[in-house]
Amino acid sequence: MKTLVSVIVFLLCGACFSQTPPYIQFTSVPGWGSTALLSGKVHNTSPGDHGVVVYIFVEEAGGWWNKPYAASPVSVIRPDSVFTTETALAGLDQYATKIIAFLTPLSWSPPVLSGAELPGELFSYPYVVSCRPHGDRVISWSGLEWVVKRSVGSTLLPIGPGPNIFNGSDTMVWVDSQQRLHLRIAKAGNKWHCTELIGKSSLGYNRYTFDVGSRVDLLDPNVIAGIFTWDDCSPLAIPPDNFYREIDFEFSRWGDPSNINSQFVIQPYDIAGNMNRFNMNLAGIDHSVHFFEWMPDSIRFRSAWGDSSRSWKYANHSYIPHPGNENIRINLHLFNAVPPLDPQDAELVLNSFLTGTSEEKIENENVRIFPNPFEQGCFIEVGLKIPGNPEIGILDPRGVCIKRMPGMLSAGKNILEWDGRAENGKPAEPGLYFLYLRDPVKTRYFKLVKI
């Protein structure tokens, strides 16, 4: 008899585990600033017994709000399992940066929110979330598309960080004729305006390299220049990340003229060992290069300027984020929205942004460039364990390929020569360049400097 009971329990449990749980998805999410309908579909559930409860997050309006209406918070699921909801009916609704939908029983009464936090009880139900960058202007730079952040409302309402007013105009954020990116802080009327760019792509585990072409060591004490990853949806993701997958370079004195001016940060910053601070002095130097290499087991930082550099390897697995929907961001803003001590405009200039892995020995390649820096030309030694045919070229700081080189290489050491000229035969201008080796798996970058 005991054996028979065990078999019955096993069969019942097997039936439970074989059943696919219900879930919900978005099929069309309106863009930031749009009043179009939100639509989606539910799966593995009875539309007659369930509804969809939608909330939007509007930072300027203080938090989360029911949609379409507080008096009618449940959207009907059609017999074909599709639902549609109006999410932009009044006020600043169309500027919501987060939209979340829960699949709930019709017998359950959802909480009505008007600028509050989402109650934990909601998360016992299946849900889907989408986040939208806070802006509608898009620019191209260094091979990526970027959304330019902007404040909204008749009085331009401040938003984080700061909170500050963010200006998305082409006089505040632009790419010049040499493909350098410019971000400004400037006063308009009696208010200071700041700037931020939000990458449209999620790049995940990667090496992120920025060539900065302005004196970030001389920023006003109340100005912060930040280069960082950020995921708006991370606290709502499955599994969640309560620290927004944030990895930072920050250049600032944080309101105190006597402070040191640079730091590498893993959030949360107030955990011992999650911040590494140092001073940069760029006197007589026209640029600085900064990278972090984000890997599953560590994050490696390095900043280099002139003959000086600072390196840091972070390996606390408790706080190394996993990739999600993060993007790379760049901003220039005011610490706690306090005006500059010296009431002058500020500017951040970036020469280029590249992704790729380490400059040192990587898998199959052992690369050496000599001399480096060089005046006329240089030799490139590529050591391979097996023969290969990588694509090889020279990129200028804008990420434009100015010279392609023969790619079929033998096992062992291969010596290539670059005469310092572009494809058109003209000498390349002095400055920073990147050698790239690209195969079907990945691209590697190596720094060259022509003087």
What's the rounded Cα separation, in Å, for the pair 50 and 366? 59
Question: Mean of the per-residue pLDDT values for the chain?
Answer: 89
What is the pTM assigned to this prediction? 0.77
DSSP string, 168-189: -STTTEEE-TT--EEEEEEEET
Per-residue pLDDT, 398: 66
Per-residue pLDDT, 31: 96
Question: Is CATH 3.40.50.1360 the classification given to domain 137-355?
Answer: no
Nearest in space to 207 (alpha carbons), one of 448, 450, 447, 392: 447
Pick the CATH number of 20-131 from 3.40.30, 2.60.40, 2.40.10, 1.20.1530: 2.60.40
Phi–psi pair at 74, nearest 5 degrees: -110, 125
Q: Using the predicted structure, report yes or no on whether residue 171 has a pLDDT greater than 70.
A: yes
Residue 339 identity (one-letter amino acid):
P
CB 59 within 8 A of CB 160: yes
What are 373's two structure tokens? Answer: 């820096």
Q: Using the predicted structure, report yes or no on whether residue 447 has a pLDDT greater than 90.
A: no
Burial class (CB in 10 A: 0-12, 13-18, 19+), 307: exposed
Q: Using the predicted structure, report yes or no on whether residue 8 has a pLDDT greater than 80.
A: no
Q: Tell me if 137-355 shares its fold with 365-450.
A: no
CB 249 within 8 A of CB 292: yes
pLDDT in tens, 185-242: 999 999 999 999 999 999 998 889 999 999 999 999 999 999 999 999 999 998 889 9
Phi-psi region of 200 (alpha: psi -120 to 50; beta: other; left: phi over 0): alpha
Domain boundaries, the chain: 20-131, 137-355, 365-450
Widest pairwise Cα distance in the chain: 91
What are 133's two structure tokens? Answer: 């960058």
Where do the H-state alpha helices sit in 263-419? none
Per-residue pLDDT, 439: 61
Q: Per-residue b/e over 139-161, b at no fewer than 16 CB within 10 Å?
A: bebbebebbbbbbbeeebebbeb
pLDDT in tens, 60-102: 999 999 999 999 999 999 999 999 999 999 999 999 999 999 9
Q: Using the predicted structure, report yes or no on whether residue 16 has a pLDDT greater than 70.
A: no
Question: 417: which strand partners?
Answer: 379
Per-residue pLDDT, 381: 87
Per-residue pLDDT, 444: 73
What's the rounded Cα separation, in Å, for the pair 77 and 21? 17
Sheet holding 23-28, edge to edge: 23-28, 38-43, 82-85
Nearest in space to 266 (alpha carbons), one of 204, 326, 319: 319
SS3 content of the chain, % helix, strand, coil (to 5): 10, 45, 45
Pick the CATH number of 365-450 from 1.10.3720.10, 2.60.40.180, 1.10.10.10, 2.60.40.4070: 2.60.40.4070
Where residue 386 falls among pLDDT bands split at 50, 70, 90?
confident
